[in-house]
Amino acid sequence: MRHSPAATRATTIAVGAVVALLALAGCAPGSSGGGAAQTGKVSTTLTTKKVTLKIQDETGFPVTSKLAAEFTKQHPNVKFKIVRDSFQNLLANAPRLMASADAPDLIRLATLGSNVKDGLLTNLDPYFDAYGWNKFSAGQLAPARMTKAGVRGEGSLWQFGIGYSVTGIYMNQKLADKVGITAVPQTLDELEADLQKAKDAGVLPVQTGMQDGVGTFTLQALINQYGDKQKLIDWMFNKPGATFDTPAVVKGATVFQDWAKKGYLPPDVNAINYTTMVANFSAGQGLFMWDGNWDAANVQKALGKDGAQFFLAPPVKKGDKYVAMGTGNTFAVPAKSTHHDTTLYFLNWIATNAKARQIVVDVTGASPGATPPRSSRASRRGA
């Protein structure tokens, strides 16, 4: 019987692994932007005045509502107005929203792009110093940094994560039992053997889609297992001389193509988008699904408490380190925010307050990141 320490039930995450932060995003050259906080004069004392913070967030991300309600409960003078839109619309309209006279105080910002160069973001370095965020893992904040030359992973801090997710593989336990799989695979060879076992039993091996590119979760997971991880990270962080044309990328893409040719993917894969993929898997269509732990609650609701397992993509060789894609649900403070100090107090509270950290775990299934308060048992559970 095979066993993997990376496997968990879908309601939890256990990442005893090396996590490469792989958020595919275009990065334009940048320079220091504007924002009141860039004067270096910041306050870590919460205002006693009545304040309403405006949050621009994406649809289907309820954690900000839960966090706002708890913060107001603890600090009644601070209220929130949360406006939501689709992820795609936010991605396209974020620069316009941040440049407007009525800019939000906090905005869901998946990519930095040219927003730093255009002076639309608040430089968070003064708050990093004031709140002592040097205690946090440097790798956790690295993707939120960018230099004047547009290189990510270093330079000033421009974003802050509300929860840190990881991508892996969901396995339908009922279908696994049906085809005779007794444990999650520990190597890519074992994974491929399970794919063939499912196909031979008339079960769809992989539920995925390519209409909106969600299938790249699978592709990226394969690429991660081959070659030099740092070269891939350098390319994604826009470092000079970095390239996507590496043996690891070619190998991963070739394996992914082979899986398609062998019939491991849905026959209508190009007509399936992210929402349909999750719905199909939740309906029992597919042994495996490459996705993030943010869908754990949805999968559990559909398949039952013990209906699925979530595990990290296995390495090439047994015993090798696990590598998984992950990133923070990143937010930024527009330079035109009128409540910089209060907004950053709220962000720091999310990372360090015991109840806030537990909300992040309960609502998103993601790790709250940062450094948990030593006196809080609840926050240690969520870390």
Q: Please give the Cα distance from 122 to 105 (Å, whole number).
A: 10
Task: Tell me what pLDDT residue 48 has.
Answer: 97
Task: Tell me what pLDDT residue 52 has.
Answer: 98
* pLDDT exceeds cutoff 50 at 29: no
CB 381 within 8 A of CB 361: yes
Cβ partners under 8 Å of residue 313, min gap 6: 168, 169, 191, 221, 222, 224, 225, 290, 322, 323, 324
Instruction: State pLDDT tens for residues 181-191.
Output: 999 999 999 99
* pLDDT exceeds cutoff 50 at 194: yes
Cβ partners under 8 Å of residue 170, min gap 6: 10, 281, 288, 289, 290, 291, 295, 299, 308, 309, 310
- Split at pLDDT 50, 70, 90, the class of 341 is very high
The CATH number of the domain covering residues in 8-22+167-325 = 3.40.190.10
Does the model's pTM come out above 0.75?
no
Task: Tell me what pLDDT residue 102 has.
Answer: 95
- Split at pLDDT 50, 70, 90, the class of 122 is very high
Q: Averaged over 232-257, what is the pLDDT?
A: 88
Greater pLDDT, 364 or 254: 254
Task: Tell me what pLDDT residue 372 has.
Answer: 53
> Judging by beta carbons within 10 Å of its beta carbon (0-12, 13-18, 19+), is residue 21 exposed, middle or buried?
buried
- Residue 255, token pair as written in the block: 């394996």
For 36-164+327-382, which CATH superfamily applies?
Periplasmic binding protein-like II (3.40.190.10)
Residue identified by tokens 């597919």 is 286
**Ranges for all domains in the chain classified under CATH 3.40.190.10:** 8-22+167-325, 36-164+327-382
291: closest CA among 326, 247, 262, 329?
Answer: 326
Q: Averaged over 139-154, what is the pLDDT?
A: 88
